[in-house]
Amino acid sequence: MKKTGISADRSFRPSLALALVPVMFLLTGCPHNDYTVQLKPHGNGIERTLVFYCADGTNQATGLPNYQGFDPAELAGITNLYRANGVTQEDEIYTVHGNFTNILPGDVGGAGTYTNLATSLGTAGIYAERFRGNDDLAGMAERRLKAADQLTDLLIGWSKLELGHEAGYPRLRHFLDVDFRRDLKNASAYWAEAQFIDLYQTNADQEFIARFGQYLLERGYFQVGELPSLSRMLGENDNHSLYLLAQRLIARKLGVAETDTIPASLAFLANDASTEKSFNRYLVTTTRYRALLKQWTRNKKSQPDLEPPAPEELTDPLLKDLIDFDAFATPNHLTVQLSLPSAPVHSNGHWDESFRQEVWASDIFARTNDARPSFFCFADWAQPNDSVQQKRFGQVVLTGDALTQYCLWRSSIDPQSAREWDDFIDRLQPGADLAKEIKSFRFASESASTNTSLPPGAASPSNFPRALLGGVLP
């Protein structure tokens, strides 16, 4: 479970917006799910094995995970995607196994595909899979920006209630409406970027702390000399000192000199209790809260025991859109292992030569978490038909990316063109005229000398294979 010096409780709502201090993370053990996806391509199909369990730390005596019971609802959802005879259990470890073509099951959560492209000169495979999360980056960004605007508007209203009588209030209001509004949006953007990078870099949260800390420093939220004290406050969960820091920041924006006493009007920011009391006192006066209260009055007629809406019902959804609090929960873990004869041509995983596997590994969050980007795996590979290429070209000329491109092209042309091309390949013989013969090839639908029959701007259908082979032939 990830923890932070500033927890996502009620007092966090106002102190987040006022203090805007960097977050420091500590990892502790909590129950989590572990998933291992094993993939073995076989022609047009791919064999998929999923091994999964729930564990809470490690047994010190055995060195094995402390296995826990797996959630029954999720277990049912996974096993329903496989045949009954493809599901096994050993103690608290479950294994499901099946063979799939093209579309992969969303067992862990997400969507994936496997494509096999077979030609006489070789084959190419393409694997791509998204695990959980949300790929609507524009939608998530819009939600974050909207939440930042709404939170800023609430803070402006709150500040007017408590500090509107201060002579320097217009300066504070301008800061909140312009600078703070922008900075809150940037805070959310930095956080989202850190969560995205964290899918592939284990130290992303540390970089986020350093990078955003520098951002805050440059914009005057704290001073260089305050860094040691700030680090201590966060490390010791010293909320009292953090509130003093917030008071000094607000006083500075009101035009109060650093050497002057903090105004008594800022006493409402003395601690969690006084801050929450003040903030809630303002929230219940807002139009949005009155709308909640009106809805509650209607609902209470059919639900007599329904509690009235709490003020935080206004802010909690906004904070969830601004910063994904699920990121503080214990993540699940995913490992994907793709067995191949040789390393893929392109991939975002890493090749394990000893096991001849392309491997991906990452933490993943709850299936319902729509505030984080998906973890994504992709790989493509090519296997030349050595004997056919030797027979037609005198050597193996199409491998790797060139073979993949050839397979993609060959699989995209119409059946008539495919027959013409395959017949042409079957007639080729190694020799001095091989390159010339390939260069002179044209489909029956195109002229050997001109392309006047083609639409304006269209390339000759035979250009690509002629250029590809011409580029790899000696």
b/e for 50-79, b at 16 or more Cβ within 10 A?
A: bbbbbbeeeeeeeeebebeebeeebbeebb
Position with higher pLDDT, 212 vs 66: 66
- CA dihedral of residues 150, 153, 154, 160 (deg, nearest 10): 180
Same domain, yes or no: 318 and 173: yes
**Given this model, what pLDDT does residue 120 score?**
97
Is 60 exceeded by the pLDDT of residue 423? yes
b/e for 406-433, b at 16 or more Cβ within 10 A?
A: bbbbbeebeeebeebbeebbeebeeeee
Q: Choose the final residue of a domain: 338, 362, 384.
A: 384
Q: How far apart are the first and last CA of the chain?
A: 59
**Given this model, what pLDDT does residue 201 score?**
66
**Given this model, what pLDDT does residue 2 score?**
39
Q: Tokens for 37?
A: 């996806």
Same domain, yes or no: 212 and 316: yes
Confidence class for position 212, pLDDT limits 50, 70, 90: confident
Query: CA gyration radius for the chain?
Result: 31
Position with higher pLDDT, 16 vs 229: 229
Is 90 exceeded by the pLDDT of residue 93? yes
Position with higher pLDDT, 28 vs 173: 173
Kindly report the backbone phi and psi dihedral angles of residue 33, in degrees, each rounded to the nearest multiple of 5, phi listed first.
-95, 145
Confidence class for position 465, pLDDT limits 50, 70, 90: very high
Confidence class for position 9, pLDDT limits 50, 70, 90: very low
- Taking the C-alpha atoms of residue 318 and residue 315, their distance in angstroms, rounded to an integer, is 5
**Given this model, what pLDDT does residue 320 score?**
87
The domain of 122 spans: 32-134+328-384
Same domain, yes or no: 180 and 291: yes
Same domain, yes or no: 371 and 249: no
User: In the chain, how many domains are there?
Assistant: 3
Residues 6+ apart with CB under 8 A from 86: 96, 97, 98
- Taking the C-alpha atoms of residue 314 and residue 287, their distance in angstroms, rounded to an integer, is 11
**Given this model, what pLDDT does residue 283 score?**
96
Is 50 exceeded by the pLDDT of residue 87? yes
**Given this model, what pLDDT does residue 332 score?**
92
**Given this model, what pLDDT does residue 11 score?**
40
**Given this model, what pLDDT does residue 127 score?**
96
Chain centre distance of CA 187? 17
Say which residue the tokens 């096993």 belong to. Answer: 79
| DSSP percent split of the chain into helix, strand, coil, nearest 5 | 45, 20, 35
Range list of β-strands (E), 79-238:
87-90, 93-100, 103-104, 110-119, 122-131
**Given this model, what pLDDT does residue 370 score?**
79
**Given this model, what pLDDT does residue 24 score?**
32
**Given this model, what pLDDT does residue 330 score?**
77
Same domain, yes or no: 320 and 339: no
Question: Average pLDDT in the 103-115 region?
Answer: 96
Is 60 exceeded by the pLDDT of residue 18? no
Is 90 exceeded by the pLDDT of residue 122? yes
Is 50 exceeded by the pLDDT of residue 159? yes
Same domain, yes or no: 459 and 397: yes
**Given this model, what pLDDT does residue 116 score?**
96
- Taking the C-alpha atoms of residue 165 and residue 265, their distance in angstroms, rounded to an integer, is 9
- Taking the C-alpha atoms of residue 180 and residue 172, their distance in angstroms, rounded to an integer, is 10
- Taking the C-alpha atoms of residue 295 and residue 144, their distance in angstroms, rounded to an integer, is 26
Q: Choose the final residue of a domain: 326, 345, 374.
A: 326
Helix (H) or strand (E) holding 321: helix 312-322
**Given this model, what pLDDT does residue 238 score?**
74
Position with higher pLDDT, 221 vs 125: 125
Question: Average pLDDT in the 272-285 region?
Answer: 95
Same domain, yes or no: 404 and 354: no
* From 181-185, 407-411, 449-453, the region with the lowest mean pLDDT: 449-453
Q: For all residues of the chain together, what is the average pLDDT?
A: 87
Question: Average pLDDT in the 57-76 region?
Answer: 90
Confidence class for position 33, pLDDT limits 50, 70, 90: very high
Question: Average pLDDT in the 456-473 region?
Answer: 84
**Given this model, what pLDDT does residue 27 score?**
33
**Given this model, what pLDDT does residue 404 score?**
96
Note whether 122 and 398 are within 8 A (CB). Answer: yes
Same domain, yes or no: 171 and 256: yes
Is 80 exceeded by the pLDDT of residue 15? no
Q: Choose the final residue of a domain: 305, 326, 347.
A: 326
Confidence class for position 381, pLDDT limits 50, 70, 90: very high
Range list of β-strands (E), 43-163:
45-58, 65-68, 87-90, 93-100, 103-104, 110-119, 122-131
Position with higher pLDDT, 115 vs 228: 115
Same domain, yes or no: 333 and 393: no
**Given this model, what pLDDT does residue 203 score?**
64
Same domain, yes or no: 198 and 315: yes
Question: Average pLDDT in the 44-60 region?
Answer: 93
Q: How much is the pTM?
A: 0.78
Helix (H, G, I), strand (E, B) or coil at 95: strand
Same domain, yes or no: 349 and 315: no
Confidence class for position 31, pLDDT limits 50, 70, 90: confident
400: region left, alpha or beta (phi > 0 left; psi from -120 to 50 alpha): left
Alpha-carbon distances of 458 from 173, 192, 416, rounded to whole Å: 60, 43, 19
- CA dihedral of residues 83, 85, 90, 94 (deg, nearest 10): -10
Same domain, yes or no: 53 and 120: yes
